Amino acid sequence: MEISSTIKSIGVAFAVGAFMFACTQESQNETNAEVNEAQTEIGAATDEAQAEMNEAGDELNQENNEMAIWTDENETRAETATEEEWEQMKADYKKREAEMEAKSADWDDETKSRWQKVKDRYKKTEDKVQARFRD
């Protein structure tokens, strides 16, 4: 009786061990599949966020470039503008400047630096025009 009890105990132990191993493998496979799915979702979300950031950066660069071009064009016009034309250009610049300044809080340092250069160029133009009108 003791031998058969021992054999039964060993058999039960092997059976439980086999089931535990099978459950562990199945659980492990399911967990790995879930982890892989989560990583795929995170990768897709990261790619989407990166694309949105690139799009926003492209839009920002375009706005900054448009303002720089506008400033360049008006710098040339300002050399021969009448006082009335100059006042209109100045008002237009102030409006555009206010729009850009409102957005500038979210800019990176490079973009802020480029914007500052545009403002500095405009300031030089403004100084030249004011000096011309005084003379």
pLDDT at 35 over 70: no
**Considering the chain, what percentage of its residues have pLDDT values greater than 90?**
4
Q: What is the pTM of this model?
A: 0.55
Residue 108 phi/psi, 5-degree rounding, is: -80, 175
Higher local confidence (pLDDT), 111 or 58: 111
Give the burial string for 60-88 (b: 16+ CB within 10 Å, else e). beebbeebbebbeebbeebeebeeeebee
- Average confidence (pLDDT) over 88-110: 87
Alpha helices in the chain (DSSP H): 2-78, 83-103, 109-134
- Average confidence (pLDDT) over 92-118: 86
